[in-house]
Amino acid sequence: LCGDLQTQMPFPFSLLCLQVIKCKAAVMWEANKPFSIEEVEVAPPKAHEVRIKIVATGICRSDDHVITGGMVMPFPIILGHEAAGVVESVGQGVTSIKPGDKVIPLFVPQCGECSSCLSTKGNLCSKNHIGSAAGFMPDGTCRFTCKGKAIHHFLGTSTFTEYTVVHEFAVAKIDSAAPLEKVCLIGCGFSTGYGAAVQTAKVEPGSTCVIFGLGGVGLSVVMGCKAAGASRIIAVDINSDKFAKAKELGATDCVNPTDFKKPIHEVLIEMTGNGVDYSFEVIGRTETMAAALACCQYNYGVSVIVGVPPAAQKITFDPMLLFTGRTWKGSVFGGWKSKDSVPKLVADYMKKKFVLDPLITHTLPFTKINEGFDLLRTGK
């Protein structure tokens, strides 16, 4: 019957077969409450959209920012943006992806047409959802429903679900042999940190670097600084339990600010003589952003903001810090053009150019996602 229909119909038969999928998802109904594992309905992909079976997803502090109100988004919502999976179906007009492909969803898309995509200087595609509280697909609608209610999307990805729908410009096809439970980290944490060092800051051999915050992204910055040939890599965190992993990945010094009575930027300047060549704030706190800038070499130091800034907060600093020559930069997704770079990063991982295993502390079943966030919040 299917074969007969396919020969008779003037359009691809695969479009006839696309149906609503019922699956499990971790729905966040309101702020500061646990995730609720619910049965949701995932609509078929529309034109230029891709429906993905999520195989593995990481937990990122940015997801937690939504829960606590640090990043303002509409509720109810399905969070998650660091994942890997297999294409289940595609909408009309999709040419770069086919069912069965292994893919990574992209929270920073690459449309290939906007000014940032066309420029060699930028990577933040105008189709991105960062800083937007819309929570919809590009056409202004949702693909998730639960208990009769529309459920919002997060950063165009929403990976805390067994199936999700993304736009074609927000997904990258990767090596079919790649282990999805490892390379999912290339969807955010690893790429963001590693790229901040090698892409955004362009750390140079022999330079001195400091990294504020030793979560998965901060450790990835450490890896990037080491790969770039930095001679001294200072890791800063108030949780000394993280120092062993930082040293394993390339840190030469580890500093806990609570061990000192003076401001941390003064400690770092004393340690290095004139301040560091490159500093990275990978926490998302205005106080540490200011400290990261202040600890840079006064004339040619470069400080990069990697952590997501908290909503509705302002930062105050002495403008003389910049007047003398320092550079203050931001970095989203490590400066990578996502659709072009993610497959290459996966290929580099497969060639053992970098490791991902040390960044994975726990592997939990999907239904224990709340336990995963507890581990995140307790620094474990």
Cα separation values, 112 from 140, 192, 354, Å: 21, 20, 28
- Check if the beta carbon of residue 194 is closer than 8 Å to that of residue 220: yes
Question: How many Cα atoms within 13 Å fall on the side-chain side of residue 51?
Answer: 24
Active-site residue, selected from the candidate residues 184, 188, 225, 295: 188
The verdict on whether 295 is a catalytic residue reads no
d(CA 302, CA 330): 11
Enclosing H/E stretch for 192: helix 189-195
Q: Which residues lie across from 161 on neighbouring strands?
A: 25
d(CA 294, CA 264): 9
SS (H, E, C) 334-363: HHCCHHHHHHHHHHHHHCCCCCCHHHCCCC
The verdict on whether 116 is a catalytic residue reads no
Enclosing H/E stretch for 264: helix 264-272
d(CA 102, CA 172): 9
The verdict on whether 17 is a catalytic residue reads no
Active-site residue, selected from the candidate residues 81, 129, 167, 265: 81
Active-site residue, selected from the candidate residues 60, 125, 225, 295: 60
The verdict on whether 188 is a catalytic residue reads yes
Burial class for 273, CB neighbours closer than 10 Å (0-12, 13-18, 19+): exposed
The verdict on whether 209 is a catalytic residue reads no
Catalytic residue IDs:
60, 62, 65, 81, 188
